[in-house]
Structures are given as structure tokens and as C-alpha cells.
């Protein structure tokens, strides 16, 4: 009868269990998930294939230990692995760019559906960051013509990397004055702007506070809605009559963010949408004729 070779080093289950304990003690909410992701990364495999790994050699164990220490110091998981999954795509991320969030996948999904509804859609992603929303629309609606703008030079470099070869027209600049050549010609404007109110700074998790760029979080005034006011103006300028805008906001802005649109008289069907946890997450509105 064939007997397996004796293990030469600890197995993945023991390693991830001990690492998850360390991460939990450091306040990491997704400790089990992150421990498994980091071990898979150290071994050059995927989380789902970890059970197939017999034992972990000393070099991989030491690399894993270093990654767990950095995660326990609250470096974002995605900065350690260098990638973030977003809908059906993988994005390169790291210092200098906002890590795309699962809740934004809903807004991107809404934009994809709007883009699919027309034969030849023009879409603009304001505040593109890593390029997550623009890249998803380009991947899921290949016939759409997608444009994206980003103000920050560091974020722009990540966007350029993630949007290379996708056909997305990426531009550097302020959304307030972006795309004058597209005025009145756009079908869908989508935006995940900075929206954290100044007084919410202390409630933000260390991964976000210490690693996401300030320009992605706080550059939106005391109430966090200055950027939303700009989005309202820019979308009003870019959209065709009947065109749609969708924009993400903080969960505390479920009434105040739609109000930015409802009070100008330029919009029909202003409504707010919940995320999967039931929190107000993004608004949509249609340009009046």
C-alpha cells in the first residue's frame, strides 16, 4: 500500500489557524479569509487550492509570517497581494490608489445595465481611481464607448495600468472641467466620489485612514457632499436629455445626497439604492429634457 511521504513542515490548516488568531487579536474583521488569502499568495496558489497543499516549506512559511505581521499592523490585504477583485476583473492596486470596495460593485452593476440598454452607449466614469468601474463596463459591455477621468497623478498611474488595452479613454484632470468635447453627448455618468465628512475621520478603519489616499476620502468638504455637488453639475452638462447618472455616497447621506439632485430641477426619477447590508449606498437620476 502506498503511504504519503512524511510531511516536511507544517500544513496549511495549522498555519492559517494560528495566523487568523493573530489577525483577530489585531482587530482584523476578516481574519480567517485574510489568513488563507495570504498563505495562498505566499505559496503562489489560490485559496480554494490550499487544501491540496501537503506541507509548507520554510521559505514560504517565512514569507507568510512576514505578510501576516504586515496585515496585523493593518496594511490592507490588497496592498500585500497587489490585486483587488472587482466584479469580473482583477485590478492592480497599491500605495497611492483607493482600493475598490465590494459595495461599489453594485453601482458599477447599475452602470453596466444602463450601458447594455442602448445599442451604442457613451459612458463617463468620473473619479476613476484604479479604473475599477470603467474597466468593468468596458469588460461587460464591449460595444460601449467608455471615458474616465482622474485628478491625482499617483492614482492615474494605477488607472493607466488597469485600463491599458481596454479601449477606455483615460484622461488626467479635474472632473469639474472634464470632457468639454462630450457636452450633451453622454448616456451614462457614473461616479464614486470622495464623500467622507470631516468629522467622521476617527471612525474610519486603520486600513482606510492610513493607506487610502486622502484625496479619495476627505476632499469633499465638511458634510462630504462638495464632490457630489460637482457631480450634479458635470452630469447635467455631459448627459443627453434622458441620460442617467449614478453616484455612490456614505451611508449617512441616504437623504442628503439625493437632495443635491432633487433640488436643482434638472433631474427626474431621483432615487436612492441600498447595498447588500441594507444601507443607503448610491443614488440615480435621469436628466430632464
Footprint of ligand SAM on this chain (CB under 6 A)?
Answer: 98, 100, 104, 127-130, 132-133, 149-152, 155, 174-176, 192-194, 215-216, 219, 227
Nearest approach, Cβ of residue 260 and ligand SAM (Å): 15
Q: Which of 20, 124 has the CB closer to ligand SAM? A: 124
Dig out the grid coordinates for 206 from the structure. Answer: 486603520
CA–CA dist 217, 195 (Å, integer): 6
Q: Which of 78, 192 has the CB closer to ligand SAM? A: 192
Residue 188's nearest CA partner among 129, 256, 120, 140 is 120
Q: Which of 174, 183 has the CB closer to ligand SAM? A: 174
CA–CA dist 44, 37 (Å, integer): 10
CA–CA dist 69, 34 (Å, integer): 12
Nearest approach, Cβ of residue 64 and ligand SAM (Å): 28
Nearest approach, Cβ of residue 236 and ligand SAM (Å): 16
Nearest approach, Cβ of residue 164 and ligand SAM (Å): 17
Residue 254's nearest CA partner among 279, 231, 276, 278 is 279
Residue 39 CB partners (closer than 8 Å, separation 6+): 12, 15, 16, 19, 50, 56, 64
Q: Which of 102, 167 has the CB closer to ligand SAM? A: 102
Q: Which of 72, 91 has the CB closer to ligand SAM? A: 91
Output helix, strand, coil percentages for the chain, rounded to the nearest 5. Answer: 45, 20, 35
Nearest approach, Cβ of residue 72 and ligand SAM (Å): 25
Amino acid at each position: 500500500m502506498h503511504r504519503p511521504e512524511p510531511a516536511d513542515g507544517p500544513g496549511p490548516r495549522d498555519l492559517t489557524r494560528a495566523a487568523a488568531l493573530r489577525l483577530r487579536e489585531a482587530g482584523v474583521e476578516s481574519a480567517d479569509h485574510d489568513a488563507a488569502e495570504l498563505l495562498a499568495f505566499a505559496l503562489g496558489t489560490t485559496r480554494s487550492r490550499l487544501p491540496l497543499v501537503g506541507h509548507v516549506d520554510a521559505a514560504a512559511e517565512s514569507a507568510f509570517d512576514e505578510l501576516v505581521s504586515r496585515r496585523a499592523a493593518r496594511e490592507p490585504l490588497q496592498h500585500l497581494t497587489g490585486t483587488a477583485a472587482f466584479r469580473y476583473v482583477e485590478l492592480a492596486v497599491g500605495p497611492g490608489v483607493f482600493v475598490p470596495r465590494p459595495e461599489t460593485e453594485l453601482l458599477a452593476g447599475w452602470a453596466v445595465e444602463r450601458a447594455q440598454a442602448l445599442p451604442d452607449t457613451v459612458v463617463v466614469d468620473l473619479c476613476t481611481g484604479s479604473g475599477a468601474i470603467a474597466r468593468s463596463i468596458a469588460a461587460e459591455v464591449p460595444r460601449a464607448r467608455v471615458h474616465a477621468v482622474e485628478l491625482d497623478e499617483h492614482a492615474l498611474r494605477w488607472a493607466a495600468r488597469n485600463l491599458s488595452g481596454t479601449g477606455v479613454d483615460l484622461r488626467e484632470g479635474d472632473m469639474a472641467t472634464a470632457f468639454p468635447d462630450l457636452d450633451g453627448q453622454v448616456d451614462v455618468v457614473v461616479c464614486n466620489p470622495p464623500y467622507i465628512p470631516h468629522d467622521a475621520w476617527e471612525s474610519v478603519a486603520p486600513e482606510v485612514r492610513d493607506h487610502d489616499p486622502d484625496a479619495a476620502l476627505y476632499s469633499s468638504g465638511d458634510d462630504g457632499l462638495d464632490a457630489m455637488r460637482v457631480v450634479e453639475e458635470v452630469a447635467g452638462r455631459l448627459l443627453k436629455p434622458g441620460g442617467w447618472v449614478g453616484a455612490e455616497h456614505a451611508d449617512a447621506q441616504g437623504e442628503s445626497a439625493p437632495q443635491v439632485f432633487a433640488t436643482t430641477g434638472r433631474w427626474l426619477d431621483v432615487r436612492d439604492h441600498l447595498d447588500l447590508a441594507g444601507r443607503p449606498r448610491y443614488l440615480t437620476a435621469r436628466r430632464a429634457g
